[in-house]
Chain A
Amino acid sequence: MTLQPPKSNTSATTSGCFHLKQRNVHYSTQHKYSQNMEVATTKGVLSHLSRLEVQKRSLKSQPQQPGGVKALRATVEALLTQRDQLRAEIQTHKNIKKLRVSMDKQCTNEEEETEEGMDEDSENSNLLRLMARHTQLKDLLHAHNVVGGYNVVKTRQGKGVCVSVATFYEGVYLNTYNLEIDVKPTVRISRHNVPPFIPLNNLAEQSNMQTDLRTLLDPLSQHLNAFAGRQQQFKFVKELHKSVEVMESNVLCSLLVLKFTVPREKTAVLCSLDYTDCTRSLPTRVHFESDAWYVSTNVLNWMRAATGSQ
């Protein structure tokens, strides 16, 4: 319904004038329906106009205009989509995890192959199974790395491989040593970062690496891990105690000479540790020396126990 203020009293349509007049009569409490129609109508029109003005102003001040509601509806739609998407992703996650659990059980032969009742169609369930298998493979490959595997990588279209030998001591993963090996035409070590005091060439010669690389890698790993163990021990000893001083050590960590200064007795004892077996991280021989004419047996016994020698 549109309200049209009359242009003039006389030109107004009958209905329009009549409405106005009626309105005037309705709203204008001050004016009774009088014989002086002109006066009454003018006053009514004016007050009506002012009334319209007030309504317009009050509509503007309200935040929810028709445009505003549309925007809100759009926001609701967007949020609904977002929520449904998240719900779907979380449910898919759950389904994959469930599939994975049953796949793990199958692998350890705990369960017969059973079809988990999935609500998805067969194409979706194929994708889900594939995704579960993907997570399983990634975990298994991670496990191979964590348990000290050689991390073999094929290079140069199968003409070479890269391997890494992991070292470990007392619960800590230490340095990794890498080798680049040519596979064709013969098996040959091309590059590596194994320290020179590790007899790599000897090990290669003594191995069967042409047919089985592990006959080289396993002994190499033994040497490197034993070295890493000795190296860590030497490092700890240096930081040990002020009464223990390192007099001599070598790069291979196969020889260590320590000076113990026995606090109460003010005597010095030299302790030499020989690690002649390079495949072990324990000493093969321990030797004590002292200038003092008397070193109490308590101290000697303690030192024997501490270095693990008989």
Chain B
Amino acid sequence: MTTGKMSNENTEEAAALQAQIEHLQAEVSALRRQQKDDQKDVTFHFRGQMQNAMLSLCGQRQGDEKVLSMLMEEVEELEEDLKLQTQMNGISLTGCTTKTLQSSGRKLVQQLCVSGHCSELLFQVEFQLSEVNEASGCVRTISELNVVIDAGEMQNFSSFLSGVEESRDLLLFFRTLRSFSDRCDDRRRTFQHFQEKYPAVVSLPAGCRSEVMHLSHPELPGCVLLVHWSVHVSREGGVSPKVELLTKIPERALQLFPSQAVGGAAEAFQSLLRILGAEAALEAVIMAVSLS
């Protein structure tokens, strides 16, 4: 083999390697761009323990067991934190998906879809969240708010919901939802309490979560006093319970007892309500019905 021939082969190999290098460099640049794109979504931009785990999975880091346990520790801390926030905020969030619409140095726009429940009320809200870094600080705004709640409660909430979507008041929606849920819980507790205490007189035909409690003396099944406890939500988000007493007494019975005490029960109850409050007023009525 002569030196000339050898140099020729070197040249060929070198040229081939050079071409391969250029090809690989292009591939790496394309992959880097794709990765940058993937990481635009804040959720999937990994840092800390997550970054370590990622590197371990891709073969760069050693000590897999340690990475797993450290990440496990962090996940447990997050689970605890979530439990704490859920308890303090009075709402249970079961799902949050984010989609990054725009991500530049100063501005981040995300589309969020949050679903969960407040007590037994299911909800799903979708909105756009913008975060802009300005001289005065970070300014967060909401736009395009869309709210969906459990179909059963829709009629109660419809005017409030349209108002909230118009004013994009996401926080008011949740404050009101929680308030509403608290008042419904008050009702449920009270109804259940009375049913347990006076089982002969009190019945809840539609369950303890319903708006109506039936009161009747066992020996007079045809005469029923209905307690209608509704929770009203105003357009502004004001939550107000309203308790009414309705009588379902057959005409013949009313004729036998023409006194105002029975006919005017509804109005009398309202006065009682104002003086004693809901629970005490209801107890008084129940005592009266049980004729004790």
Contacts and interface: CB of A to CB of B under 8 A. Distances in A.
Contacts of A65: 10
A68 B15 CA distance: 11
A79 interface: yes
A22 to B, nearest CB: 16
Contacts of B84: 152, 154
A64 B14 contact: yes
A75 B28 CA distance: 13
A76 B64 contact: no
B54 A89 contact: yes
Contacts of A218: 175, 178-179, 182
A264 interface: no
Nearest to A217: B88
B129 A172 contact: no
A87 interface: yes
A146 B75 contact: no
B216 to A, nearest CB: 34
- Looking at chain B's contact residues, the main secondary structure is helix
A206 to B, nearest CB: 15
A45 interface: no
B57 A86 contact: no
B159 interface: no
B93 A89 contact: no
A137 interface: yes
A92 to B, nearest CB: 5
A126 interface: yes
Interface string A6-50: 000000000000000000000000000000000000000000000
Given A135-B43, A168-B169, A173-B140, A86 B88 contact: no
Interface in B205-249: 236, 238
A153 to B, nearest CB: 9
A85 B56 CA distance: 11
A140 B140 contact: no
Nearest to B38: A93
B3 A146 contact: no
A256 interface: no
A104 B95 contact: yes
Given A79-B28, A83-B27, A141 B143 contact: no
Interface in A161-198: 163, 166-173
Contacts of A170: 167-169
B108 to A, nearest CB: 12
A287 B202 CA distance: 51
B14 A63 contact: yes
Interface in A115-149: 123-124, 126-128, 130-131, 133-144, 146-149
B43 A133 contact: no
B82 A140 contact: yes
B253 to A, nearest CB: 43
Nearest to A79: B24
Interface string B155-175: 000000000000111111011
B10 A141 contact: no
A62 B11 contact: yes
Contacts of B57: 88, 92, 124, 127-128
Contact of B71 (A75, A130, A139): A130
Given A64-B7, A104-B97, A173-B142, 12 more contacts: A65-B10, A66-B10, A72-B18, A76-B20, A76-B21, A76-B24, A83-B24, A133-B75, A134-B78, A146-B112, A166-B171, A171-B167
Interface of B: 3-4, 7, 10-11, 13-15, 17-18, 20-21, 24-25, 27-28, 31-32, 34-35, 38, 43-44, 49-50, 53-54, 56-60, 64, 67-68, 71-72, 74-75, 78-79, 81-82, 84-86, 88-91, 93-98, 112, 114-115, 125, 129, 139-143, 167-172, 174-175, 178-179, 182, 236, 238
